[in-house]
Amino acid sequence: MRHFIAVFACLLFGDGALRAQSVDPSGNGPCGGQSTYTYNGTVYRLAEIGGQCWFADNLRTTTFQNGDAISYADNGAAWNSSISPRRGVWDNNNNLSAVYGYFYNFPAVTDSRGLCPSEYRVPQSGDFAAMISEMVSLYGNANNSLFRAPGTLDDSGFWDGDLFSDGSNLSGFTGQPWGLRGANGDESLLYQATAFWSSSTFGSTFGERWVLGYNDVSPFSSVPA
């Protein structure tokens, strides 16, 4: 099985009517009035998008929900596994995990011990599709600037300014270009793209990822991993 590994988003269990993306402080929105959530010692910002509550920061947990450690693996040959859960960080520089979060492989995503906190789950294909659909209904398109955090490498951000305009982040998703790590452990596309795991699969063989980036127009695209 091929694995193209992604940084990670978590989604609160439950559904709701389409609504604006800012967190409703009254508690009537899907995030229950919470603008942050603390999981395994890390504080994550939350975003209400289309009746769903998303993590707006990349996951950086080192353990599963039950406290079991997620094995760390460097890039290169040590990363390749279609069975054992793995986590890793860009260029094996653990100091970057506080900013970039971790790469996780698909076995980590699907592990029964739970990668997200108990109230949250790994997004499914339909969750990403619903988020894109809401952006189309609100703004008439799903240009990826709607999902990208503001800023480029030229102005205190991270997106490659030669390829991308400044992100509007009108969705609240706050996507950052933390690159990809492939099945063989090769890393690529830092500052140009990122990918988020779905718990859905392509057939019975490949995990599914949703890629943000590559160019300044295309929205999220669903591809096998």
Q: Please identify which residue in the block is written with the tokens 């929205």.
A: 219
User: Which segments of the chain have a pLDDT < 70?
Assistant: 1-8, 13-21, 202-205, 217-219, 222-225
Contact call for residues 134 and 50 (beta carbons, < 8 A):
yes
Distance CA 60, CA 22 (A): 23
How confident is the model over 29-73, as pLDDT tens digits? 899 999 999 999 999 999 998 788 999 999 999 999 999 999 999
pTM of the model: 0.87
In this prediction, residue 198 carries a pLDDT of 87
In this prediction, residue 220 carries a pLDDT of 73
Instruction: Write out the DSSP string of 118-170.
Output: TTEEPPPHHHHHHHHHHHHHHHS---GGGTBPS-BTTTTS-B-TTT-PPP--T
Q: Give the list of residues 6+ apart from residue 28 with CB closer than 8 angstroms, or none.
A: none
In this prediction, residue 2 carries a pLDDT of 29
In this prediction, residue 106 carries a pLDDT of 87
